[in-house]
Structure 1
């Protein structure tokens, strides 16, 4: 524990942040296991379609994903109206990278991704609330560090580098995925280019890298919990994605891993 304190701010005396840290860690583990075991989210191309969903309210996927990310983007932008964030270097930096992250997601929804179906309204609400609550908690955890001693090791610069690598790599592989099919095509294809020859989900790999970049910039216990939780969830999702491709394409190479080249 003493070694950990060299890298993170002291845990704030806040029952809310303590509870949210535990909840985030718990749901991340459950979500990762569920995705890996095949109980996938209903916005996924390989979700379990056995249930009757005809009576559930559906909306266009592009509209759903726009509203999924917009509240979190708004939360990051609003943080700059709070003086404690506007004039504190680390807090301002955390708000900036979160704003960039969710702006990129909204931009991709509007101009990069191709959608051919619909998403359940209740799924949109759950996703939106999850991103919004996590963003607010990360910002609030940073706010609670004001006036406390900085960690012995300042990891901001390393975090900035990881964030840039993560968001750039994620955007590039999303762009490659968007070019995979023409507008009139609906069938799935095996992705190629970039790191797709090594892993089936390089966009998730770079997203994980980006979240750890944010954690290093923030250096709060909650930010690291969020980053590790993201890694567990996207790791499970990547495992399920690789399994799906193996079941759909006879020529899909087993040498292509899920998310970490040559490893997993």
Structure 2
């Protein structure tokens, strides 16, 4: 118990932030479970293949690129604004805001220059996801600005290593996915390079590592709850992705796991 409490900064006095910690875990765990049960947010391959097109005539649809930019840009701007709003909050705060800003900047760069698209996005899903990213990013920054005191065990440098590993591995595997499609191709293929021969979603695995790196940088309860929530959601998302590949490709290798090599 001492070891656990030693890695956290003191709890924030705000009841709202404490409540948001619980809401984050419960909401994202529920979203992950919904993915496993086949109830998906309306974007990417799941909407493109599994939606009932006849029932969606009244939904506002965005192009995938526009939708993805809508997801990430507000959080990126919030990260940039934090440097101006909280200019003297110390080294740990600077590391956290830098990590969050770089995370969403990378995503915007991938949307503009890396990703290749075969489907679109429904506006209501885009709004929900964008608000989730923005609120969580702003809350992590706000909690860090409260000056709660330093934890007994300092993990911020380990956090930097994990974050850089996560963001690099995520970018690498996104780039591999992009290179699978050439000359305007839009069909899905079974990825095989990198860690794709071990898990169907290595980009999710590295995204999880990145957010645990962000927790180690922040060492706040809110960042911890968000890392847990992201883990639950991406586990559900990767499980659904593996099930989708198994349903679409008869030759999909059965030994390839969802997200954790040899385990799940």
Asked if these proteins are the same fold (TM beyond 0.5), I'd say yes
**Contact 1:173–1:194 (CA under 8 A) maintained in structure 2:** yes
| Cα distance in 2 between the residues matched to 1:116 and 1:46 | 11
Q: What is the DSSP-based 3-state SS (H/G/I as helix, E as strand, rest coil) of the residue aligned with 2:194?
A: coil
- C-alpha contact 2:176 2:193 (8 A) present in aligned 1: yes
Aligned to 1:65: 68
Contact persistence 2:44–2:121 (CA under 8 A): no
User: What is the CA-CA distance between 1:189 and the residue it aligns to?
Assistant: 0.4
Report the Cα distance in structure 2 between the residues aligned to 1:58 and 1:21, rounded to whole angstroms: 32
TM-score, length-scaled by structure 1: 0.96
2:22 equivalent to 1:43: no
Q: Identify which range, 199-208 or 148-157, moves more after superposition.
A: 148-157
| Matched residue SS, 2:195 | coil
Aligned length: 261
* Greater Cα shift, 44-53 or 66-75: 44-53
- Distance, in Å, in 2 between the alignment partners of 1:263 and 1:208 is 16
What stretches of structure 2 of length at least 5 have no aligned partner?
none
Question: Is the 1:32–1:236 contact (alpha carbons within 8 Å) kept by the matching residues of 2?
Answer: yes
**Alpha-carbon shift at residue 87 of structure 1 (Å):** 4.3
1:137 to 139, 150, 172: 139
> Partners of 1:3 and 1:182 in 2: how far apart?
51
Deviations 1:163-218 (A, max 9, x none): 01000000000000001112422221001210000000000000000000000000
Deviations 1:207-262 (A, max 9, x none): 00000000000000000100010000000000010111111111111100000011
In 2, the alpha carbon distance for the partners of 1:71 and 1:193 equals 33
- Answer yes or no: is the 8 Å Cα contact 1:79–1:86 preserved in 2: no
Are the equivalent residues in 2 in contact too, given 1:9–1:150 (CA < 8 A)? yes
- Is residue 12 from structure 1 mapped to residue 15 from structure 2 by the alignment? no
Q: CA deviation at 1:44?
A: 3.0
Deviations 1:128-160 (A, max 9, x none): 11100000011011112x1x3311110011100
State whether structure 2 residue 203 is matched by structure 1 residue 203. Answer: yes
Alignment gaps of 5+ in structure 1 = none
CA distance in 1, matches of 2:189, 2:263: 24
Q: After the TM superposition, which of the residue ranges 166-175 and 243-252 deviates more from structure 2?
A: 243-252
> What is the deviation of 1:43?
0.3
Question: How far is 1:118 from its partner?
Answer: 2.0
> As a proportion of its length, which structure holds more helix?
2
Cα offset, 1:4, TM superposition = 2.3
Q: Which residue pairs with 2:223 in the alignment? A: 223
Give me the CA root mean square deviation.
1.2
1:99 aligns with 2:101: yes
Q: Which residues in structure 2 correspond to 1:164-179 (within 5 Å)?
A: 164-179=164-179
> How far 1:2 sits from its partner (Å)?
4.1
1:55 aligns with 2:53: no
